[in-house]
Structure 1
Amino acid sequence: MATDWPKPAEGSWTEHYPDLGTGPISFRDSTSPEFYALERAAIFKRAWLNLCRVEEIADPGDFLTKPVEAADATVLLVRGDDGVLRAFHNACRHHGNPLAHSDHPRGPSGEISGNNPAFSCRRCGWVYALDGRLVHTPEPGVEAADYGLVPVHCDVWAGFVFVNFDARPRQTLREFLGPMVTALEGYPFDRLTERYDWVAHNNSNWKIFADAFQEYYHVPALHSQQVPPEVRVPNAGFTCGHFQIDGPHRLVCTAGTRRWLLPDAYMYPIERATRSGLVGPWHTPDLGGLPMAGLNPGGIEPWGISNFQIFPNIEILFYGGWYLLYRYWPTSHNTHRYEAHTFFHPARTVRERIEHEVAAVVLKEFALQDAGMLGGTQAALEYDVVEEFPLNDQEILVRHLHKATGDWVRAYQDERGVA
């Protein structure tokens, strides 16, 4: 069933979501250790969290570990001999020693991956099958059925692997994602498997970095190298064509122009030489019919980018023939780990491989321009000199993220009767 999403009236988006308010907001939810403790319990231990894609755990015996500091956990994802993908806490039931281990983690955020027929604890010798059953102990008398690995709820949507640490999740994954996100079904994620990864450890609350990708108000000032002068003139702004909210999730769409039509001054020489860069390769393989009603629900023409922000901590940015994925993993009330992944169609020529690598590098530099501001922003907020900050209509999604976070925390407090 089609959904009639709100459209702007007289240039105003906030009037369509009156519960968000229009006044200044506080960022104390990004500076308070007490709020962060509640956030961990209310959100990161109860929401569905994306850890990886199915291609990373494709065959029986494939496994991947993922640290989730905000949930006090490291998850062990395993593809069983029966083809089923399962998730467990990465801890032996004897003394809690990590089962999957490595002296040299290979992943961008310290994860471990590989292929095992079973998992053996190097401390005590207990052995577990791929489905989590305890199948061997060095001493007799242990009831194997009582000491299987501790499971974590796991589900897959469109090839994205999610987990939920709640004992009884309140919603299925599909219910949690809602119609705005699930309208992306039909996008050829499974065909875009050439991936480039990087990670940055930032001295800021996770929401402070997420805010930077929810609005484009800052683009003319911070990213002046890549932004033409007609956008940078005083009061010109950088407006987006469509904002959308569905439950705790958010969407922003921009119009777009062909990168190669810009003056040389607003791209690096390597972009012109390789025909690739900030908006990816200038030409991408035909992926067939894309689900444009889901990708561009506002009907923006010419369509440029759609950024789907799935609560609490991931973003998927679509550029048509390729996409970006960001994850923000809190590590304390004022630090987080930022993961970035670019996904392309597998290169068919050397030139295409170079185009992909150039795009990944230029995009990394662009994102690090934002990341470079975070430590200073966090420090200034923690001075607590200013109580409230104004947001304009183009920053509606910033307003929504902080409200959604507060709503989840308040719901948890009400449920548990805690202050």
Structure 2
Amino acid sequence: MSTDTSLAQAESPARVQTKFVGVAQSLDARVDVAKMLTPEHYAVEREAIFRRAWLPIGHTDDLPEPGSYFVYDVPTFNASLLVVRGDDGQVRVFHNACRHRGNKLVRSGAGKKRSFMCGFHGWSFSSDGALKVVTDHNQFDGLEKADYGLSRVTSEVWENLIFVNFDETPRESLQDWLGPEFFDRYQGYWDLHEKVASYSFDLNCNWHLAVNSFTEGYHTMYIHKNTARDYQGGKINPQRHRPHMELTRRHHRFSAPGNPDHEILPVEGLAIKYGRKLLPAFDFDFSMLPAGVNPSRYEYWAFDNIALFPNMVVLCGNHYRVELTFWPIDGSRTRIYNSLYNYKTKNLGERLGQAYFRARGRDVLREDLNTLEAQQQGLVSGGMPHVILSRQETALKHHFAVTENMLRGQ
């Protein structure tokens, strides 16, 4: 992969300059985002991007044993998915609809079942999707149970993340979709943490705006000035420039710079005393992490931001991670699923410490979401021919370039 040295050498008062890996120089800095906010444009994107893409829906950790299941709703395709670990240990994804008359087989939630019975007429399916029971079977002419198992959705697993593909015949494997820059470089990372909180939000904004809100650090000094005022940058990097940014065929990752001079407040100090540094303090220890996390091994590393196009952003820390998925409902509404994962606790003190950081992270998230509906209103008004993006927003430039490429069928 090439390195763009011209951007890294650009004049700046900061002592930390961004190293760009991948083609950054040729990306457009002026983007007509407003044209992407129409219902017509979204309808094209749904088929050309979301139907072709590998989309994350959960983790194998959520299915600890045979018969474990969870329901996952995908508003982009108005689909409900039933994700099940079969008796053979394999994870399968089905349309959550009885093959008799389409009733939702499991209304919501998660649990464990040996079989799934439809509450409408009593048809029953095994954990591998096979139709096992048809009530009053002799009243159906020519019905062969082997022909009416639950409808499968193509799925694959990377590390412990479960992905689906809604294309009738996927055009590439999950491994090819992720690329070598991601596929082989995160071994074991997703097993370091456990889920401690999850939220969902429906916002009146386009999915592009929602994803973009979490894929640049330029905003952090302003939006987060009260909740995480000095967690990044510091004296050596006053503008909080990303030390490392890598662009691949579809995805990106960059490293966020921690502040070695961060002032620890009294309550934060108590949380750290009984637990570990999470957010807004960092211990700069990345010795336990695989090569894909903090790939440049930056000394004052806070966390990585990885964006798996089109709709997943992960903030990858050492003792925590934050996962966000963005599902367009239509051209002007987006559902956001947010999950927080922390290190696995050993005692009450660590759990109390995590509670503080969980509350702080929730408030930071709400600040990130706060601008989205206002952006939507400003852009759809028609008063702006384009937005203009800085070098520190190169990930956004890349996002829109990938969008255009996929709309062209590339």
TM-score (norm 2): 0.88
Asked whether the equivalents of residues 41 and 71 of structure 1 are also in contact (C-alpha less than 8 Å), the reply is no
What's the % identity of the aligned pairs? 28
Task: Write the distance in 2 (CA, Å) between the matches of 1:288 and 1:236.
Answer: 26
Task: Write the distance in 1 (CA, Å) between the matches of 2:231 and 2:124.
Answer: 63
**Which residue pairs with 1:156 in the alignment?**
157
Q: Secondary structure at the match of 1:180?
A: helix
**Which residue pairs with 1:253 in the alignment?**
255
Deviation at 1:54, TM superposition (A): 0.6
- 1:33 aligned to 2:39? yes
Deviation at 1:184, TM superposition (A): 3.1
Cα RMSD of the aligned pairs, angstroms, is 2.7
**Which residue pairs with 1:220 in the alignment?**
221
- 1:95 aligned to 2:101? yes
Please tell me the residue identity of whatever aligns with 1:338.
I
Task: Write the distance in 2 (CA, Å) between the matches of 1:175 and 1:311.
Answer: 13
Q: 1:320 to 1:244 in 2, by over 3 A?
A: same
Q: Secondary structure at the match of 2:363?
A: helix
**Which residue pairs with 1:415 in the alignment?**
none
Task: Write the distance in 2 (CA, Å) between the matches of 1:33 and 1:232.
Answer: 43
Deviation at 1:238, TM superposition (A): 2.6
Which of these residues, 104, 120, 125, is aligned with residue 123 of structure 1? 120
Please tell me the residue identity of whatever aligns with 1:122.
G
Query: Greater CA deviation, 178-187 or 340-349?
Result: 178-187
Q: 1:127 to 1:287 in 2, by over 3 A?
A: farther
Task: Write the distance in 1 (CA, Å) between the matches of 2:315 and 2:186.
Answer: 15
Asked whether the equivalents of residues 3 and 23 of structure 2 are also in contact (C-alpha less than 8 Å), the reply is no
- 1:20 aligned to 2:24? no
Please tell me the residue identity of whatever aligns with 2:289.
L
Deviation at 1:277, TM superposition (A): 7.2
- 1:239 aligned to 2:234? no
Deviation at 1:281, TM superposition (A): 7.3
Asked whether the equivalents of residues 270 and 353 of structure 2 are also in contact (C-alpha less than 8 Å), the reply is no
Q: Secondary structure at the match of 2:171?
A: coil
Q: Secondary structure at the match of 1:224?
A: coil
- 1:320 aligned to 2:326? no
Asked whether the equivalents of residues 220 and 231 of structure 1 are also in contact (C-alpha less than 8 Å), the reply is no
Asked whether the equivalents of residues 29 and 36 of structure 1 are also in contact (C-alpha less than 8 Å), the reply is no
**Which residue pairs with 2:205 in the alignment?**
204
List gaps (5 residues or longer) in structure 1.
106-111, 413-419
Q: Secondary structure at the match of 2:292?
A: helix
**Which residue pairs with 2:262 in the alignment?**
262
Residues 370-381 of structure 1: pairs in structure 2 closer than 5 A: 370-381=368-379
Task: Write the distance in 1 (CA, Å) between the matches of 2:311 and 2:133.
Answer: 39
**Which residue pairs with 1:147 in the alignment?**
148
Task: Write the distance in 1 (CA, Å) between the matches of 2:234 and 2:210.
Answer: 23
- 1:55 aligned to 2:96? no
State the Cα deviation string for residues 321-360 of structure 1 (Å, max 9, x = none).
2211111111121111222212122211111001112112
Asked whether the equivalents of residues 4 and 25 of structure 2 are also in contact (C-alpha less than 8 Å), the reply is no
Which of these residues, 278, 286, 309, is aligned with residue 307 of structure 2? 309
**Which residue pairs with 1:383 in the alignment?**
381
Please tell me the residue identity of whatever aligns with 2:402.
A
Task: Write the distance in 1 (CA, Å) between the matches of 2:22 and 2:146.
Answer: 57
Please tell me the residue identity of whatever aligns with 2:28.
G
State the Cα deviation string for residues 258-299 of structure 1 (Å, max 9, x = none).
5xx4235xx5x5323322676267679x997321x3212233
Q: 1:81 to 1:220 in 2, by over 3 A?
A: same
**Which residue pairs with 2:85 in the alignment?**
79
Please tell me the residue identity of whatever aligns with 1:401.
H
**Which residue pairs with 1:174 in the alignment?**
175
TM-score (norm 1): 0.86
Task: Write the distance in 1 (CA, Å) between the matches of 2:178 and 2:22.
Answer: 24
Task: Write the distance in 2 (CA, Å) between the matches of 1:365 and 1:57.
Answer: 30
Q: 1:222 to 1:191 in 2, by over 3 A?
A: closer
Q: 1:29 to 1:273 in 2, by over 3 A?
A: farther
Task: Write the distance in 1 (CA, Å) between the matches of 2:49 and 2:400.
Answer: 13
Q: 1:29 to 1:353 in 2, by over 3 A?
A: farther
Asked whether the equivalents of residues 252 and 306 of structure 1 are also in contact (C-alpha less than 8 Å), the reply is yes
Asked whether the equivalents of residues 2 and 21 of structure 2 are also in contact (C-alpha less than 8 Å), the reply is no
Deviation at 1:34, TM superposition (A): 0.8
Deviation at 1:30, TM superposition (A): 4.1
The runs of 4+ residues in structure 1 deviating greater than 4 Å are 3-8, 12-15, 229-233, 280-284
Please tell me the residue identity of whatever aligns with 2:119.
R
Higher percent of residues as helix: 1
